[in-house]
Amino acid sequence: MAYKISAADCTGCGACEADCPSKAIRMKGDVYAINPDKCTECVGKFDSPQCVAACPANCISHA
């Protein structure tokens, strides 16, 4: 149960990292990546996964 960032489309802006309630997102090289062990898909916290809703590049989807 986790989301995944498409490295090819990520612009490295960090909007997802700032809004992730689980601190599951870290910079990896020039782009961001989600730690699947920490990602909770925001279940029980928010209506929608925060990284997906915040990403300006629309590059986050189900793993």
Partner 1 sequence: MTRHIIPLDIVAKKTSAPAGAGCAAKSCGTDTAGSDLPPEVWAKVKDHPCYSEQAHHYFARMHVAVAPACNIQCNYCNRKYDCANESRPGVTSERLTPEQAVHKVAAVAARMPQLSVVGIAGPGDALADWRHTFETFDLLSRQFPDIKLCLSTNGLALPDHVDRIRELKVDHVTITINMVDPAVGEDIYAWVFYDHRRHTGREAARILHERQIEGLRRLVEAGILVKVNSVLIPGINDAHLAAVNETVRGHGAFLHNIMPLISDPAHGTRFGLDGRRGPTPAELKQLQDHLGGGARLMKHCRQCRADAVGLLGQDLSQDFTMDRVAGMTVEDRPEERRLYREFVERERLDREQAARVAERGLSAAVTVPPLLVAACSRGGGRVNQHFGHAREFQLYEVDGAGIRFVGHRRADHYCQGGHGEEDKLEAVVKALDGVSVLLAAKIGSCPSDRLKAAGITVITDHAYDYIETAVAAVYRSHRAAAAADGQAMAQAS
Out of 6, 48, 61, 62, which residue is the one contacting partner 1 (CB under 8 A)? 48
Nearest to 22 by CA among 6, 2, 47: 2
Total binding residues for partner 1 by CB under 8 A? 15
3-state secondary structure of 62: strand
Phi first, then psi: what are they for 19, rounded to 5°? Answer: -100, -5
Element (H, E) at 50: helix 50-54
| Closer to partner 1 by Cβ: residue 11 or 38 | 11
Contact pattern from residue 3 through residue 42 relative to partner 1, giving x for each residue in contact according to CB under 8 A and a dash for the rest: --------xxxxx--xx-----------------------
Q: Which two tokens stand for residue 5?
A: 């960032």
- The residues that touch partner 1, with contacts defined as CB under 8 A, are 11-15, 18-19, 46-48, 50, 53-54, 56-57
